[in-house]
Amino acid sequence: MDLSTFLGLVFGIGALLVSVVIEGGSVTSLISIPAFVLVFGGTIGATAMGFTVDELKNVVTLLRIAFTNEKYDAARLINSLVLFAEKARREGLLALEEDVSGIQDKFLQKGMQLVIDGTDAELVRSIMETELTFMQERHHRGAGIFEAAGGFAPTMGIIGTVMGLVHVLGNLSDTATLGPAIATAFIATLYGVGSANLFFLPIAGKLKTHNAHQIFFYEVTLEGILSVQAGDNPRIVEEKLKAFLAPKQRPEPKKQEDR
């Protein structure tokens, strides 16, 4: 569970509801079926048009990713890579075969397997960078679905409000219901702006954040794999990889002295 996604959503919507209650309003007065149909129907329709069916099928997976907290422990990764570098220097790259079969991360495993198979260093870099580039491209397109929805929702809200006003103004005879009718018209704006800013755009932001962390983790991984393959001194491997991290994230210096 990604706490900030979940709590942020609860907190945001909660703030909205609490505010209504404090003000003495009733939450049910914010419910409008026509506004709901228009804003979410229109947003889904407009968003779907811009993507392919295959891309749209990922929406559930993408939501799951936004609400899941995948930890990328770079300090632990660096320690593993340094150990690989030491073993490779002592016993040769082939000695890493059994370690590699136990690696959980697919990206690290594939890269190390290529190295053990004796693939040319340039080719390893090219294959793994291609993988990273297109992984990022796919993730950005995924976040793009929610960004598109976050762009369309407020305009659907405006369409709903304008349509409501047109309806109201075209039937001014009954002035008693004028106020409530205009109030209802504004609910579409509320749905559009609210869903965009409390759901679609923050989810797109979280997807990009998760992507940034993952790509960053894999950049460290790739640099480490290539350093192991090049037979770099383990201390150099560590120095190179620690440069990616914020000072406070770096592996403890004690571990360095142990070696």
Q: Among residue numbers 49 through 108, which ones bind a second copy (CB under 8 A)?
A: 49-53, 55-56, 69, 106
* 127 is an interface residue for a second copy by CB under 8 A: yes
Beta carbons of 207 and 62 less than 8 angstroms apart = yes
Query: What are the contacts of 33-36 at 24+ separation with CB within 8 A?
Result: 34/160, 34/164, 34/184, 34/188, 35/157, 35/160, 35/164, 35/184, 35/187, 35/188, 35/190, 35/191, 36/191
* 253 is an interface residue for a second copy by CB under 8 A: no
Q: What are the tokens at 245?
A: 């991290």
Beta carbon of residue 102, minimum distance to a second copy (angstroms, whole number)? 20
Q: How many residues bind a second copy (CB under 8 A)?
A: 111
Beta carbons of 142 and 58 less than 8 angstroms apart = yes
Among 31, 95, 121, 212, binds a second copy (CB under 8 A): 212
Binding mask 4-23 for a second copy (x = CB under 8 A): xx-xxxxxxxxxx-xxx-xx
Measured distance CA(2)–CA(10) in Å, rounded: 13
Beta carbons of 103 and 109 less than 8 angstroms apart = yes
Q: Indicate the residue among 103 and 182 with the shorter CB distance to a second copy.
A: 182
Among 44, 63, 100, 103, binds a second copy (CB under 8 A): 44
* 234 is an interface residue for a second copy by CB under 8 A: no
Query: CB within 8 A of 164, min separation 6: which ones?
Result: 34, 35, 181, 182, 184, 185, 186, 188
Q: Indicate the residue among 86 and 223 with the shorter CB distance to a second copy.
A: 223
Query: CB within 8 A of 237, min separation 6: which ones?
Result: 81, 82, 85, 224, 227, 228
* 152 is an interface residue for a second copy by CB under 8 A: yes
Which region, judged by CB under 8 A, interacts with a second copy, from 77-85, 86-94, 96-104, 130-138? 130-138
Beta carbon of residue 7, minimum distance to a second copy (angstroms, whole number)? 7
The structure tokens 């870099």 sit at: 125
Beta carbon of residue 231, minimum distance to a second copy (angstroms, whole number)? 14
Among 83, 109, 240, 256, binds a second copy (CB under 8 A): 240
- Residue ranges in 158-197 that form contacts with a second copy under rule CB under 8 A: 158-160, 162-172, 178-180, 182-184, 186-187, 189-190, 193-194, 196-197
Beta carbon of residue 26, minimum distance to a second copy (angstroms, whole number)? 9
